[in-house]
Structure 1
Amino acid sequence: MLAALLVTIPLAAGPAAAAPTPIVGGENQSDADGLAAVLVNGQFQCSGSIVDNYWVLTARHCLYNGSTRIPDGDISVRVKSIWWYTGGGVVNVSTSRVRTSHDIAMLKLDRSANAEPVRLPTATTTVGATTYAFGWGRTCSNCGVAEVVRRATQNVLAINGNTDYYGGRAVRTDGLNGDMCYGDSGGPLFKLVDGLRYQVGVLSTINTGCTGGAFWATVPDSRDWILNVMATV
């Protein structure tokens, strides 16, 4: 069970709604390779990643408004743009799947994203590794919504002993040049291997106050489930 100091962090209402704010600090990202802005009725909801031209990976709690599942027909994604509200292209979601007991969800697109998908690792990251997080939204609790996706460098504090919002194993990080905050839910945590990005986490929860401590659903633990969804749905 998650401790009381943790909150889930979609921009819109989710299982534990809060005021919207994404990466605090960090830096603007100059490209959107492998990234997707998840929209609900055209408004920013969460971040995500393109794991196949017809599939986007995000957090399970991003697909809920309170305890109510958001209809697939209300969800779309913007791809190939550093801005969540313009550029690139918007692709509708035809169906979605959520994983039991993990803060992991998959969105099936009704047409190809025509983008280069991110890579899914077979093993989790290591304690002390430098990783990179991405998300859209505000940069402080009283700021307006950020127009451009931002990046924050993260240090891996633990790979065991923590859980995501639904009880799955979580990777814990803290920020080296920026912290995660409300609105960054579903965004990817990448580790670079030989210059290639491998997604090791999906942002699930943070410490209250958006200072230090982010918890990521562990992607390698869901790799087989993700691949099976893509192969059978």
Structure 2
Amino acid sequence: MRSARSASISMLSGVLLVLGLGLAPSAMASDGPSSEAGWTLGEDDGTLTAPDRPEAVEAPGEVGAMIVSGTRATSSRGMAAVLINEHLHCSGSIVHNRWVLTAKHCIMYDSNGNGVPDTKYPASSLSVRVKSLNADSGGGVVGVSLTKVRASNDIAMLKLDRSANAEPVRLASANPKLFSETYAFGWGAPCKGCGYSSYLKRATQRVSGASSDLWGGEAIRVNGINGYVCHADSGGPLFKLVDGARYQVGVLSSGDRSCGSGSNHYSSVPRSQAWIEDVIARF
């Protein structure tokens, strides 16, 4: 008998997409602001359903690399482009000079063809580009020596084989308030099926409620104000400004298949903060 999670993941709605690039196996070789306490994430609001099968998501080179609409970012501080075999795969954030935070579905694939990502890509196939606004040039590329995933959340950590020598992001300790403005960053496609472009972009988005991520973990639902997310934005951060300081509140898990409307769903960083800090301390 299948587990409840397996059964749930097998139910495809055709509405949402997994926003990583979804390579097939053959392609492998700090304290947050207390002022942010406002609303509590509750049960799944029914708008988020199970992830699509990995083969429904384009491979590197078939989609672009920019947030839909939005604006160009002026700084890559705290950002990391997650690469598989040197190709852009997902977005991520530097939470420690030896650790990058991203989505679990960015580093796992479905080895059994049953719609459940169950196997991690080998760490040797992963790397990250840091300290650059471009996903394919500038800054530096750092290898990955270890990956860790959280069991019931779309959250993963990549341990770097050397220091990123970059300023890490701050982690929020509480979810943002309902209707507050947040800021998404990533190298995702500028539209569904668009050509490749590697420049980092940002989008302003409004918190619209609570939802679940692709593993049933607590998530933050946002809707675009001046932009939405698309392929390769997966794993990218959602930030909230507090007294001029930027705190990460979410990790992108999924969004609407159209890439230009609907809701985007971010796994809650405050819910996983203790786990993130424990991984950094223990490994």
Cα offsets for 1:55-90 (capped at 9, x unmatched): 000000000233332100100000000000110000
Which SS does the other structure have where 2:279 is aligned?
helix
Cα offsets for 1:83-138 (capped at 9, x unmatched): 00110000000101000010000000011101110001111111111000011132
Larger % of strand: which?
Answer: 1
Match status 1:132 vs 2:183: yes
Cα distance in 2 for partners of 1:147, 1:96 equals 25
Instruction: Let me know the Cα RMSD of the aligned residues.
Output: 1.5
C-alpha displacement of 1:188: 0.2
Which of 12, 27, 30 is residue 22 of structure 2 equivalent to?
A: 12
Which of 209, 216, 229 is residue 167 of structure 1 equivalent to?
A: 216
Q: Paired residue for 2:267? A: 217
Q: Paired residue for 2:151? A: 100
- Consecutive unaligned residues of structure 2, counting only runs of 5 or more, are 1-7, 25-52, 111-116
Q: Paired residue for 1:231? A: 281
Cα distance in 2 for partners of 1:198, 1:31 equals 15
Cα distance in 2 for partners of 1:122, 1:142 equals 36
C-alpha displacement of 1:31: 1.3
Which SS does the other structure have where 2:76 is aligned?
coil
Q: Which amino acid counterpart does residue 34 of structure 1 have in structure 2?
A: G
Q: Paired residue for 2:233? A: 184
TM normalised by structure 2 equals 0.78
Q: Paired residue for 1:150? A: 201
C-alpha displacement of 1:28: 1.1
Q: Which amino acid counterpart does residue 47 of structure 1 have in structure 2?
A: S
Q: How does 1:26-175 map to 2 (within 5 A)?
A: 26-66=70-110, 67=117, 68-158=119-209, 160=210, 162-175=211-224
Q: Which amino acid counterpart does residue 192 of structure 1 have in structure 2?
A: L
Cα distance in 2 for partners of 1:227, 1:120 equals 10
Q: Paired residue for 2:245? A: 196
Q: Which amino acid counterpart does residue 273 of structure 2 have in structure 1?
A: R
- Say which is worse superposed, 67-76 or 12-21, in terms of deviation: 12-21
Which SS does the other structure have where 1:147 is aligned?
coil
Match status 1:207 vs 2:217: no
Larger radius of gyration: 2
Cα offsets for 1:157-198 (capped at 9, x unmatched): 01x3x1000110110001000111122100000000111110
C-alpha displacement of 1:8: 1.1
Which SS does the other structure have where 2:106 is aligned?
helix
Cα offsets for 1:16-64 (capped at 9, x unmatched): 4324454110111121000000000100010000000000000000002
- Consecutive unaligned residues of structure 1, counting only runs of 5 or more, are none
Cα distance in 2 for partners of 1:167, 1:79 equals 30
Contact 2:188–2:230 (8 Å) recurs in 1 = no
